[in-house]
Amino acid sequence: MKTFIIRSTAIAALTAFSAFAAMASGSHAGGHGHANEAIGKPGVAAKVTRTIDVDMTDAMRFTPASIEVKRNETVRFRITNSGKIKHEMVLGTEKELKEHYELMKKNPEMEHDDPNMVTLGPGKSGEIVWQFTKAGKVDFGCLQPGHYDAGMKGAVKVAAGNAKGASK
């Protein structure tokens, strides 16, 4: 009976994760798309126009938590976890982040590697290269259980004007 419950739970978790992965990934080569173009798309490192340093702390905060970019700008987020526990930075719509967060609370050991996110252990650094293709707001948050609810979130304001040197 226990084996059946464990298998059922694992299958349910994998199914839910597959659904999220399908939602978060587009169908172009390499799986580096994003079904919701509202947040943009994975950037090309050679087209980065600036680097923004982001720090994640055990106080459940991102610094900075408010970032401004221009439409079509490609940004390198250089992210550091200066805390003593695992944190992550995930770009998405508020709805996507909340859905993924609920999934993470049920499956805290779930690992994923998508271009719109980076998960870092204590003292580690990583990066996200992202092109913001539409004006508006792109949210980000740490979806480790308890972190998002504690306020570990932020937003990127995407201004309507095109970034210099950006292609349409």
Assign 91 to helix, strand or coil.
strand
pLDDT of residue 140: 97
Residue 15 CB burial class (10 angstroms; 0-12, 13-18, ≥19): exposed
**Predicted local distance difference test score (pLDDT) of residue 72:** 95
Cβ 126 vs Cβ 76: under 8 Å = no
CATH of 2-162, one of 2.60.40.420, 1.20.1600.10, 3.40.50.880, 3.20.20.70: 2.60.40.420
Q: Alpha-carbon distance 16 to 13, whole Å?
A: 5
Give 21-47 pLDDT, tens digit per residue: 433 433 333 333 344 578 999 999 999
pLDDT score of 163 = 67
The pLDDT score that the predictor gives to residue 31 is 35
Q: Helices in the chain by DSSP H: which ranges?
A: 2-24, 94-106
pLDDT one-digit tens code per residue, 17-27: 444 443 343 33
- Which stretches in the chain have pLDDT values below 70? 1-36, 163-168
